[in-house]
Chains A and B, each alone.
Chain A
């Protein structure tokens, strides 16, 4: 376990460096520059702007400077939102996405695990067929179809929940009604995956000899499921949780757009489309760090769950 984790830890800076380099040059190599879009700009003004943001230096210098900034966690100024630094924008927007993502993840875990476990231990029951059918729909119907449909039904038709928007209650946390539809939309495909994985894991495990041993001891089904079967069944789910974070992040681009939530995903799309390079880079790096961190966390949890790995 220790050695394994060490190996993963060594990979972290490499992953981040690859990501930063890739996105940095992808942005720099693009034709045009951030200020070329603004038509009526004076050549002298443009030059001044380029100088101000260090865009007149050769790329390698720019790259090194950017890395230096990163080392002090400074992501630089935004090119398009005057007077704001990328750090400030991220600090403002990311918590909103975090609230949404976290809610969705909790929801997805609760839904997915419950459905998956019950389907697994009641294979071929109506519940199993029903929930696996729903899970398949969850996998096949894109978020951007589900979102508008939910908004249409619960927002417009029934009027129970707001169609869109984000009225804050405290800090990044909104009044719950603004969170319900977006969180459900975001959670759905994720819950579907978890349910399928859990069910498969459960099926796998309940056919294991050691579960038969547990029955032969006279334990009740609930104990067998929770104490003996759950851990093994959870392993595939846990490995999925790392990539799932990436999925939830990408999902939130769309969901934030549909429900007009002022989060970092929406901000990313906007900044990519209007070439706010530093902001784009900053967001990509943030996402990368999150992904890496979650993958590591998942590894730790995995080892924690499976003693064979922990002591290997």
Chain B
């Protein structure tokens, strides 16, 4: 049993082994055979490309990560709506303040509908509906009849977020339970019902002729006007050179009407950046520290490793939290904070490698021939620890990403120049706060994150197996 599994299959390796294939080529050959690892490489490359070219992809969707179509709020995947700004400003003679995709059209038409909204607040508990009150005007009602017809009623929650349902044919009565039309609700709560209707005079058409982006002619319902400020909320259609303008959000939008897909792409950028840079930091510190320690040996080594041992005993994440809370959450700070958490293990691994390499002939030969310690370290020792360093690095990146997302989750999102950079962790946090009815906000960012981490972990595993087949499956 033992000999058998310790020996590689003779038929497959003896020939190549005779040709003295290098460790790396051999590892690469083994890695290529590992299907999961190759799939993982695909996943990682895809993730990398997607977040690198986030800008290009955002161009396809038609909106960046920070712009929110405020009036649409959170909408499910695939949601399509009129492509217009929250406020479109057209002033005769001035530059048209319109959405980019049709900024250089020569004729624009905005069809708007002014709607009136009446809001009713309904609170209920186990015993039934407690109060029905008109919020504007605060007039209390005893009963409310929600009929189907030309007007529609829409349910929203306390944050004025549409719950995506339109209520029809329900009658609410103080003291009675919530009617079945409201579906399964928690035992108590508050919701708002908006009655939306459209006055006869509510429809308007703004038309503008543009030249080089500047407004040359402007009319409202055919009559020339000087300027128009058009709320996105009331726009029913935009025609640019006669073509209707819409925008589709493949993964829906968040609470402020920002495109989730684009935000996930940009979030991936932040997460990967943090993961890579912090890992690099840890790599630098760890490799140099470990190499010096291992190379020096003796007392220096003992002391340096005692320091590592001591630092190992410190609950780092708590210090990182303190650091971010007290000294601001700049992304640069985070790079170093997370890098500092990770370097210890790297230092230990590199030291171990260097210690054993030092015994090898080629290093002894270099020492004999009087090469300088720095030359030996950078020419012989560090390059030869590369395999294991690569493996460990691959496993560190997802670990760091996980840590950052964890910080983001407890509210410590990173910032740069005062602007919050929403990583995957921040998106997941927002999603889990958004609640059950908007599950896409939780599901998609989680999925993006999980798949990428999954890929990185699998690749790390695969690399380890490839570099060190004896250690197969070790963690």
Neighbour of B310 across the interface among A11, A147, A257, CB < 8 A:
A11
A85 to chain B, nearest CB (A): 20
A188 to chain B, nearest CB (A): 13
A199–B461 Cα distance when bound, in Å, is 14
A245–B38 Cα distance when bound, in Å, is 34
- A18→B310 contact, CB < 8 A: yes
- B314→A144 contact, CB < 8 A: no
- A292→B313 contact, CB < 8 A: yes
Neighbour of A193 across the interface among B326, B442, B475, CB < 8 A:
B475
Query: With A22-B319, A140-B454 in contact, is A197–B442 under 8 Å at CB?
Result: no
A269–B317 Cα distance when bound, in Å, is 11
Interface flag for A278 (CB, 8 Å): no
A167–B316 Cα distance when bound, in Å, is 31
Q: Binary interface profile of B, 401-436, with partner A (CB < 8 Å = 1, else 0)?
A: 010011001110000000000000100110010001
Interface flag for A254 (CB, 8 Å): yes
Query: With A27-B326, A145-B450 in contact, is A288–B5 under 8 Å at CB?
Result: no
- A208→B2 contact, CB < 8 A: yes
Chain A hits for B398, CB < 8 A? 140
**Nearest-CB residue, chain A, relative to B454:** A140
- A136→B428 contact, CB < 8 A: no
B388 to chain A, nearest CB (A): 16
Interface flag for B474 (CB, 8 Å): yes
B278 to chain A, nearest CB (A): 16
Chain B hits for A280, CB < 8 A? 322
Query: With A200-B474, A207-B6 in contact, is A250–B317 under 8 Å at CB?
Result: yes
A257 to chain B, nearest CB (A): 7
Chain A hits for B446, CB < 8 A? 141, 145, 149
**Nearest-CB residue, chain B, relative to A14:** B310
Query: With A142-B428, A145-B449 in contact, is A15–B310 under 8 Å at CB?
Result: yes
Q: Which of A120-158 contact B (CB under 8 A)?
A: 136-137, 139-145, 147-149, 152, 156
Besides the contacts A142-B428, A204-B474, what 20 more A-B pairs have beta carbons closer than 8 Å?
A: A11-B313, A19-B314, A26-B322, A136-B454, A136-B457, A137-B450, A141-B446, A142-B409, A142-B449, A144-B405, A144-B432, A145-B449, A197-B475, A200-B475, A207-B5, A246-B315, A246-B316, A246-B317, A250-B315, A254-B409
Show the binding face of A for B, using Cβ within 8 Å: 11-12, 14-15, 18-19, 22-23, 26-27, 29-31, 136-137, 139-145, 147-149, 152, 156, 193, 196-197, 199-200, 203-204, 207-209, 211-212, 215, 236, 243, 246, 249-250, 253-254, 257-258, 268-269, 272-273, 275, 280, 283-284, 287-288, 291-292, 295
